[in-house]
């Protein structure tokens, strides 16, 4: 592990806890965790930062997934099917990432996020309760294709906000309430994180000692966030969702024009 001051380690651990909380509630914890690692490890190779980020995030995501699965009505089998599709999609996106301009994609993503925010604001009933009718086979296949392959591809290609996109897609396609969608998204995220971490570990691009320390705080934040979401319900998740979407729009805007 590189020489890191105690103050930097403390800041990174606090960031890991906060990121775990955000990610458990609605996704998007990487908006905080990845920039914190980039600032705290200015001399590290970008791939090492990404690998360490995955090693931290998978622990918090896994803890949140277990917490949700125990108390939320999650279809684990369906979540794993979507997760395996997302794993394949992320590998494809990562393979093409070097040949596509991310600067060209950011404005499109920002437009999509603004539309999503408007939809959530003007549809206050969105995700507040599960659908009354069973989900059709066509919608399940669409969820595997869009939320799995599609968003997984986006995760490998550019990344920010993947968890948030998953929550929104699962809510819309499978008629889930926001709490159940968040729970399902955590299982999907575990699948994609595991695949990415395996690749980074194989390449020796993980700072395991730092990741292990930060993972403890990320796990605590994730489990607290999952419990709060279960206790406070979809209205609370909706408020956090809008906050994270707004933060993502600002972040992408600064990257594009800042």
Q: Residue 100's pLDDT band (boundaries 50, 70, 90)?
A: low
Which contacts of 71-79 are long-range, i.e. CB under 8 A and separated by 24 or more positions? 71/230, 72/179, 72/180, 72/183, 72/230, 73/130, 73/180, 74/180, 74/183, 74/184, 74/187, 75/184, 76/187, 78/140, 78/143, 78/174, 78/184, 79/184, 79/187, 79/188
Sign of CA pseudo-dihedral 225, 219, 176, 134: negative
* Mean pLDDT to the nearest integer, 127-146: 81
15-55 pLDDT, tens per residue? Answer: 999 999 988 888 778 778 888 888 888 888 877 888 898 89
Q: Residue 98's pLDDT band (boundaries 50, 70, 90)?
A: low
Count Cα atoms within 13 angstroms, Cβ side, for 41.
24
Token pair belonging to 70? 């125990």
177-236 pLDDT, tens per residue? Answer: 888 888 899 899 888 888 778 878 888 889 999 999 999 999 999 999 999 988 998 888
Q: Put residue 2 in one of left, alpha, beta given phi > 0 → left and psi -120 to 50 → alpha.
A: beta
Mean pLDDT of the chain: 84
Q: How many residues appear in the chain?
A: 258
Decide if 13 contacts 232 (C-beta within 8 A).
Answer: no
């Amino acid at each position: 592990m590189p020489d890191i001051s105690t103050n930097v380690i403390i800041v990174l651990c606090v960031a890991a806890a906060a990121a775990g909380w955000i990610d458990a509630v609605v996704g998007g914890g990487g908006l905080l965790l990845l920039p914190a690692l980039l600032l705290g490890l200015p001399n590290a190779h970008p791939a090492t930062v990404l690998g360490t980020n995955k090693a931290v995030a998978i622990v918090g995501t896994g803890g949140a997934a277990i917490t949700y699965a125990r108390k939320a009505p999650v279809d684990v089998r369906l979540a794993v099917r979507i997760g395996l599709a997302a794993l394949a999609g992320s590998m494809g996106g990562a393979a093409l990432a070097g040949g596509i301009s991310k600067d060209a994609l950011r404005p499109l993503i920002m437009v999509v996020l603004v539309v999503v925010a408007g939809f959530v604001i003007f549809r206050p009933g969105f995700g507040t309760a599960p659908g009354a009718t069973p989900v059709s086979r066509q919608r399940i296949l669409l969820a595997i294709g869009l939320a799995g392959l599609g968003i997984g591809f986006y995760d490998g290609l550019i990344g920010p906000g993947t968890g948030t996109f998953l929550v929104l897609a699962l809510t819309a396609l499978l008629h889930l309430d926001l709490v159940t969608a968040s729970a399902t998204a955590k299982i999907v995220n575990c699948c994609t994180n595991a695949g990415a971490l395996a690749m980074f570990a194989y390449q020796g691009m993980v700072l395991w000692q730092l990741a292990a320390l930060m993972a403890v705080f990320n796990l605590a934040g994730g489990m607290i966030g999952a419990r709060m979401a279960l206790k406070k319900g979809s209205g609370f998740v909706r408020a956090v969702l809008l906050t994270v979407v707004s933060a993502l729009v600002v972040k992408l805007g600064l990257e594009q024009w800042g």
